[in-house]
Amino acid sequence: MKVTEYIQAAKKTLFSFEILPPLKGQSLSNLLEGIAPLMEFKPPFIDVTYHREEYVYRKHANGLLEKVSTRKRPGTVGICAAIMNRFHVDAVPHLLCGGFSREETENALIDLYFIGVENVLALRGDAPKSEANFLPNKDGHRYASELVGQIIGMNHGRYLNDETEVGFRTDFCVGVAGYPEKHFEAPSLNFDLKKLKAKVDAGASYIVTQMFFDNKKYFDFVDKVREMGINLPIIPGLKPITTLSQIVNLPKTFYLDLPDDLLSGLEKCKSNADVKEVGIEWAIQQSKELVAYGVPSLHYYTMSRADATYRVAREVF
């Protein structure tokens, strides 16, 4: 079923979450066992992230450096199939502009549709760590709005190099990303909102937000999105903080602020175990307030560690 159909049919806030494919060489069974307890909260869909190639330098015996492309977390499509088989839950693969030509995207979408995937989250992706700025692939998309356009085109039977003929129609429901605290490259929130509108105009059906720790940021964002005339569901993304290093790394990686009240609790923590308690309690309070506000779903970034999300969900759902 489509994410939007689940939301329309729901009588209360839904529970959903996101997982990462395991690092190359690690097994899938640990991941699936790890998320199995979360099925208690009946997620209608589970997102599976996509990870583009990185570049590493390999030194040869003659001293020359060779730039090698590698993907550390392959397997998004296979994990989607495994989730659907094992849990009978819809899987939502993330799809990136970066690292794909338009034709590779077209072929990936055909694969996904044939295995029964009905929803995709269309994203631009970031530049590989070794590169300063995002550059599209040769024949690839520069912005997520263009990727949305290609997916919707296939829903209308339009394929590359075959513009005049109507082909087999896919029927994807397309989600896109939204940033309550602004995407880091955007010169202003207003600019970013206009680009969000372009994704909606291209045919997106729902929005999932970047994680945030201050619900006011989400409420203000929803108000501004509505002022732009966008009436799609806006699913808030949440993450319980669980380690000391995340206090520094989450703001740095995701360009977000931690509220003072949360920080004053975290600053007293001496160990990861202490941090986890504060982080879980904060996420519970955030979740409860968002449910009371009437959000369509609470979407947890588990980073493939489900225990903290389990403890939050147990108090909220």
Would you please indicate which residues are annotated as catalytic (active-site) residues? 18
Crossing angle (nearest 10°) for helices 272-293 and 260-267: 160
| Interface of this chain with ligand FAD, residues 6 to 35, rule: CB under 6 A | none
Binding residue (CB under 6 A) for ligand FAD from 50, 218, 300, 310: 50
For ligand FAD, the closer CB: 75 or 237: 237
| Interface of this chain with ligand FAD, residues 252 to 281, rule: CB under 6 A | none
Binding residue (CB under 6 A) for ligand FAD from 177, 278, 295, 313: 177
Q: What is the DSSP code string of 201-239?
A: HTT--EEEEEE-S-HHHHHHHHHHHHHTT--S-EEEEE-
Q: What is the DSSP code string of 104-121?
A: HHHHHHHHHHHTT--EEE
Residues with Cβ < 8 Å from 51, sequence gap 6 or more?
A: 20, 21, 71, 72, 73, 74, 76
Buried/exposed code over 190-210 (b: 16+ C-beta within 10 A; e: otherwise): eebbebbbbbbebbbbbbbbb
Question: Cβ(112)–Cβ(81) under 8 Å?
Answer: no
Binding residue (CB under 6 A) for ligand FAD from 22, 43, 140, 237: 237
Binding residue (CB under 6 A) for ligand FAD from 5, 54, 126, 274: 126
H-type alpha helices, 51-162 = 76-87, 102-114, 144-155
Buried/exposed code over 134-169 (b: 16+ C-beta within 10 A; e: otherwise): eebbeebbebbbbbbbbbbbbbeebbeeeeeeeeee
Question: Cβ(95)–Cβ(120) under 8 Å?
Answer: yes
- 66/170 Cα distance (integer angstroms): 41
| Interface of this chain with ligand FAD, residues 128 to 167, rule: CB under 6 A | 143-145
For ligand FAD, the closer CB: 84 or 186: 186
Q: How far is the CB of 64 from ligand FAD (least distance, A)?
A: 30
Q: How far is the CB of 93 from ligand FAD (least distance, A)?
A: 8
For ligand FAD, the closer CB: 38 or 123: 123
Residue 180 near ligand FAD by CB under 6 A: no
- The contact mask relative to ligand FAD for 85-124 (x = CB under 6 A, - = no) is ---------x-x------------------------x-xx
Residue 183 near ligand FAD by CB under 6 A: yes
Q: How far is the CB of 274 from ligand FAD (least distance, A)?
A: 28
For ligand FAD, the closer CB: 178 or 269: 178
Q: What is the DSSP letter of 154?
A: H
Q: How far is the CB of 41 from ligand FAD (least distance, A)?
A: 19
Q: How far is the CB of 175 from ligand FAD (least distance, A)?
A: 8
Residue 316 near ligand FAD by CB under 6 A: no
| Number of residues forming the site for ligand FAD (CB under 6 A) | 25
For ligand FAD, the closer CB: 177 or 312: 177
Residues with Cβ < 8 Å from 146, sequence gap 6 or more?
A: 97, 202
Q: What is the DSSP code string of 10-61?
A: -SS-EEEEEE-PPPTTS-HHHHHHHHGGGGGG--SEEEE-----EEEEEE-T
Q: How far is the CB of 237 from ligand FAD (least distance, A)?
A: 5
| Interface of this chain with ligand FAD, residues 191 to 210, rule: CB under 6 A | 191-192, 195, 198-199, 208, 210
Interacting residues with ligand FAD (CB under 6 A): 49-50, 52, 94, 96, 121, 123-126, 143-145, 177, 183, 185-186, 191-192, 195, 198-199, 208, 210, 237
